[in-house]
Each structure stands twice: as C-alpha cells, then as structure tokens.
C-alpha cells in the first residue's frame, strides 16, 4: 500500500526462479550461512590479532558478538584502522588505499546512526557539533578533533572465496605493517592451503563441502589470544623522538613567522581541460573563478558523465595550451595532429546548453562540436566529447559558500571539485620525496612529483608543511584565504608523463603523513568588483597570515578530492 506506482510484478514473478537458481548453485541459505560465516570468522580471528611491533592493535573491531555463533552474527566485519599510537585512521584514507588494491569497502555510518553513536561513543551533542563543523552523511570528513565520524565495513557473500579474505588481510598487512612489525606472520594468513578452495567457487553442488574448507578448529582458536587479551592491557606508547611520521607530521609553525628567506611563487600551472595535462606559465591573468580558463572545459563520455584520470589515465597525455593573442586553445597528443578550439564563448543560438555534474555540483555546459569530439574519441579509443562551462550560467550554476571567508557572497567556481586554487610547497615535496625514494626502487624526480600533485600555485618556502598553518596569504595585490587541506586520491599514483599507475605513491604519502593523505591547501579569492586586470607571476613574494585566532573549516564535498 506504500508502493509509488505500479507494483513490480515482473520482479515478484522472478523471485521463485531466483531462489531455485540459488538453491541449485549453493545448496540453500543454510549452506550460504555456513560458508559466509566461516569466511567472516577466519578474517575476524586474524584481523583482531594483528599487532604492531609495540603491541598496539592494528584495528579496532566493532561487534556485539565474538564471531562464534552464525545465528547471532552475520558475515560482516565493521572496524577502524589504527596507527601504532592507537589513533584512528580516517575511513576515507582506508577507502582510497583499498581501491588501489581493487578492494571495495563501505564507509561511514551505513545508514545506522544509532549503532554508529553507540560503538564510536558519539553523544547527541557530538552529532550537533559535527553538523555545525560541516559534516553531513556521505562526505569525506572522517575525523573531527581526532575522533572518527564513521568506520569501515567489509561484507562476504555466497560468491566470496577464501582468496578474497586473504587478499583483504594481505592488504592490511602490506599497508600497515612492515615485515618486522607483523607478529602474526604472513604464513598465518595463508596457512589454509589455497589448493583446497574449489576452482569454481560458484558451483556448490556438494553443499556439505562448502564450509569445512574455511573453518578454523577450536584448538587453533584456543592458541590465538582473544581480542580482549591482546588489546585490553595495551596503552599508547610515548611518541618517539625521531620517526618517519614525526619527520613529516602536521607540525605547527611559530605564531609569528620568523624572518629568513622570503617565500616566493616558483611555478604556475593551469589545466584548461579538467583532468588533462598541465599548461605551465610564468604569469597569467586572474579571473573571478581562478586562473583565467583554468578547468573551463572537460571531457565527458557518451552518457555525458565527466571523465577523469581515475577512469581514463591517458587523459594526462592530452596537452592543451592557451594562446591569448590568437584567442585559441591548442590541443596536442602523441600521434595526433594538433587541433584548436576558440576561446570565445560559443553560447548562442547554435549552442545547446546541457546540464552536467562535477562531483555533487550541477553546472551548465555546452558541447564543443563534432570535430574535437572525433579527435578525442580517436585518441582515447572510446566515444567522448568536449564540453565547456557556459559563461552566462557560471555565477548561477557552480557556487560554493565557504565558511571563513570575509565576504558573505558565494564564490564562483569553474569545473573544479573544491576551490579556485590549489597550492603546494616545494619544501614539502622535498620532504616527501625522501620517504618515497626510500620505498621505490627508482627514486622520483622532484619535477615528476610536482606534476603528480596537479597544483595551480607552487611556492618555495624554507619550512616543509608550514603552509598548513596559514589562514590567509597575499601574492602581490591578490588576497587569498585558505579553506582547508587537500585530501589526496589515487590520481597522484598516475605518472603524468606516461599515464602509468604506481600505487606506492599514495601508500608512501599515507605512511609519511600518518593518519591522513593531505597534501597542499585550497585557496579562494574574493570576487572582483572591477575588470579582471590582476595577474599572478612567478617570482612574486608570498606573505602568509598564520591561523592563530582564525577558524578554518575543511571542504565539505561529498565526493573524492583532487580528481581533476
């Protein structure tokens, strides 16, 4: 009686056939329960006993049972990952790392705020404070004041296999433990022979063989201390004086920046086409949405959905450049003849205005024509089109009310995800480079790292990560306010010269920065009241104002950051 429209009678008719197929494949729900619980039981047992070298647990599992009774516990494990000091790593970071290993997890509160409050010890007052800080359901704000706002969940189904459980456990070990840290050695994770798992794990004709494959005997369980025994008496150790995390931690700068070498702009990049190659300049006009023509265009697939390097890494091989005198954008790629697109906005009678989405924001765009669509489709090997943000709709279609800005006006954005500008510091890059080089067989060049982080403004400062303590900066006559850190995603794993992926980059950043994958800061510039006459130039001095007595709010986008 609550059906909105016609009852789904076709799906109802299909139910019997679906249950029949499920019975044939698996032997029935009872066998599915045994199989999935055996997987969850095994994973829970190993996961709850993983420890760092100092005895600290690697995860904190949230459960009302001890995973011994399948009638009381389903095949789901809910947890948060901890560092060696017992601090929670944000679920967004765990999700980003898992995606690099082709593992899909669910994160957040799972539409169960009551259980979330109970297990995470979140009071009603905390919920209100989190909401006031900008946290909403589905966003990436995973930690507030060092406390988690949600957790990570893995689930097993009838098609899940023992190898799936092993893959997940090996992912946790690889990303959180060095070989010397793992008190439960890798052999413990793989002690059940993979040969015993059926080749076709979807064909369960011998239903009684479903669960014994993965069961752990009571004797084996008796030899492994319980989670309470392994974690109950552990206390966070005193922080060590020298460690990799300490070296690249979120250190504070003095309340008043001391004199020394001036901070200057070292490089300026714009990205005319979202997620394509950078266009480096020595000076460039500034508009009311950021650098002029920065991310004014984007590539969409045949369904009109924005394409980024996450789905198509070869976008980084598409190189646009802007010729202000000839008023054209020239696009080049290896093996293709250069093609040009006019800079003049073609919004007119012939242009078809369509609505597109950048993350959760709706933007008005128009198609740039068949010629460039064919060029891009030929290079990328899939149907796609180039669209441009409509200039007459910019102020209405993509705005952001940013807390902390002195003006009450909305800030107009181009096709960026978060803010008008992204700034990184060469000193921070050099600090990070040391740790990445220690993990990679071939060290990265500084220029390659800069390109991976896809910033608009690269500064040269004397202190690494001092930019994270800034509230405002001035560059010449331009005034910017910091609106939060940039939480990095898997795009930094893509070599911007070749399009090849290397997941070690994000893992190294995570290890070096401790609990977050932040790198760089977002900037907003106040809307101009006059014509766009200001320019940003390499060599200009940067004058920062520190955060003291200034409340800075993080971005509140519900989507992954830095995907363009």
Q: What is the pLDDT of residue 526?
A: 62
* Three-state DSSP state, 564: coil
First vs last C-alpha separation in the chain: 46
**Class of residue 35 by CB neighbours under 10 A (exposed 0-12, middle 13-18, buried 19+):** buried
pTM of the model: 0.63
Note the pLDDT of residue 186: 35
Active-site annotation holder among 109, 111, 276, 489: 111
pLDDT at 166: 92
Residue in 319, 288, 221 with CA at minimum distance from that of residue 528:
288
At residue 182, the pLDDT reads 43
Task: Per residue of the chain (564 residues), give pLDDT as tens.
Answer: 566 778 888 889 999 999 999 999 988 899 999 999 999 999 999 999 999 988 899 999 999 898 989 999 999 999 999 988 888 988 888 888 888 888 999 998 888 888 888 898 888 888 888 787 777 777 777 888 788 888 999 999 999 999 999 999 999 988 887 644 443 333 333 333 333 333 333 334 333 444 333 333 444 334 444 443 433 334 444 443 333 233 333 333 333 455 568 999 999 999 999 999 999 999 999 988 889 999 999 999 888 888 889 889 999 999 999 999 999 999 999 999 999 999 887 655 444 545 555 554 566 788 898 999 999 999 999 999 999 987 754 434 444 544 444 443 456 777 776 788 999 999 999 988 888 887 776 777 889 889 999 999 999 998 889 999 998 999 988 889 898 888 888 888 888 988 888 877 887 888 777 757 889 999 988 654 444 458 899 999 999 988 764 443 444 443 444 446
Chain-centroid distance of CA 399 in Å reads 22
Cβ neighbours for 244, distance < 8 A, ≥ 6 positions apart = 435, 511, 512
Domain parsing of the chain, residue ranges: 10-176, 296-389, 421-546
3-class DSSP string for 341-389: EECCCCCCCCCCEEEEEECCEEEEEEECCHHHHHHHHHHHCCCEEEEEE
Q: Is 562 a catalytic residue?
A: no
DSSP 85-130: TSPBPPHHHHHHHHHHTT---EEE-TT-HHHHHHHHT--HHHHHHH
Torsion of Cα atoms, 526 then 532 then 533 then 535, to 10°? 60
Residue-level pLDDT at 508: 81
Residues 235, 42, 152, CA angle at the centre, nearest 5°? 60
User: Does the domain at residues 10-176 carry the CATH identifier 3.90.1150.10?
Assistant: yes
pLDDT of residue 242: 34
Phi–psi pair at 223, nearest 5 degrees: -85, -10
Instruction: State the SS3 of 139-150.
Output: CCCCEECCEECC
């Amino acid at each position: 009686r609550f059906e909105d429209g016609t009852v789904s009678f076709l799906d109802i008719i299909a139910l019997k056939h679906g249950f029949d197929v499920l019975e044939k494949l698996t032997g029935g729900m009872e066998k599915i329960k045994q199989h999935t619980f055996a997987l969850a039981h095994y994973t829970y047992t190993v996961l709850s006993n993983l420890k760092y070298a100092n005895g600290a647990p690697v995860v904190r599992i949230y459960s009302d049972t001890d995973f011994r009774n399948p009638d009381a516990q389903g095949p789901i494990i809910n947890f948060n990952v901890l560092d060696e000091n017992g601090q929670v790593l944000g679920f967004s970071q765990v999700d980003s790392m898992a995606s690099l290993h082709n593992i899909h997890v669910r994160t957040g509160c799972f539409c169960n705020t009551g259980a979330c409050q109970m297990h995470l010890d979140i009071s009603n007052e905390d919920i209100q404070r989190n909401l006031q800080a900008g946290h909403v359901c589905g966003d990436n704000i995973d930690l507030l004041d060092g406390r988690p706002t949600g957790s990570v969940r893995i689930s097993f189904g009838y098609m899940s296999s023992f190898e799936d459980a092993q893959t997940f456990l090996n992912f946790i070990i690889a990303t959180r433990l060095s070989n010397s840290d793992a008190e439960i050695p890798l052999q413990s994770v793989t002690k059940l022979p993979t040969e015993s798992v059926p080749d076709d794990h979807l064909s369960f004709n011998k239903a009684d063989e479903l669960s014994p494959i993965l069961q752990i005997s009571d004797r084996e369980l008796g030899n492994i201390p319980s989670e309470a025994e392994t974690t109950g008496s552990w206390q966070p150790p005193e922080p060590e004086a020298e460690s990799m995390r300490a070296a690249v931690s979120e250190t504070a700068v003095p309340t008043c920046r001391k004199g020394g070498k001036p901070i200057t702009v070292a490089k300026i990049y714009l990205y005319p086409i979202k997620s394509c190659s950078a266009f480096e300049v020595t000076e460039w006009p500034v508009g009311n949405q950021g650098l002029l023509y920065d991310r004014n265009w984007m590539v969409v697939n045949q369904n009109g959905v924005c394409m980024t390097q996450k789905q198509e890494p070869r976008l980084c091989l598409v190189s646009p450049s802007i010729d202000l005198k000839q008023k054209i954008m020239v696009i080049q790629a290896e093996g293709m003849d250069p093609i040009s697109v006019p800079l003049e906005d073609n919004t007119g009678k012939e242009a078809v205005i369509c609505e597109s989405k950048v993350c959760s924001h709706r933007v008005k765009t128009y198609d740039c024509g068949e010629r460039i669509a064919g060029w891009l489709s030929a290079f990328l090997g899939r149907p796609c089109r180039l669209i441009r943000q409509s200039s007459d709709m910019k102020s209405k279609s993509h705005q952001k009310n940013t807390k902390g800005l002195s003006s009450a006006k909305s800030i107009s954005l181009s096709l960026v995800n978060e803010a008008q500008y992204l700034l990184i510091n060469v000193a921070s890059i050099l600090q990070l480079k040391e740790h990445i080089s220690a993990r990679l067989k071939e060290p990265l060049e500084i220029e390659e790292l800069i390109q991976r982080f896809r910033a608009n403004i690269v500064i040269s400062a004397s202190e690494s990560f001092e930019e994270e303590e800034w509230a405002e900066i001035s560059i010449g006559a331009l005034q910017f306010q910091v609106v939060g850190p940039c939480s990095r995603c898997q795009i930094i794993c893509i070599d911007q010269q070749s399009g090849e992926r290397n997941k070690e980059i994000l893992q190294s950043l995570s290890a070096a920065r401790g609990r977050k994958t932040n790198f760089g800061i977002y900037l907003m510039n106040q809307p101009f009241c006059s014509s766009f006459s200001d320019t940003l130039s390499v060599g200009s001095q940067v004058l920062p104002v520190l955060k003291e007595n200034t409340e800075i709010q993080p971005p509140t986008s519900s989507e992954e950051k830095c995907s363009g």
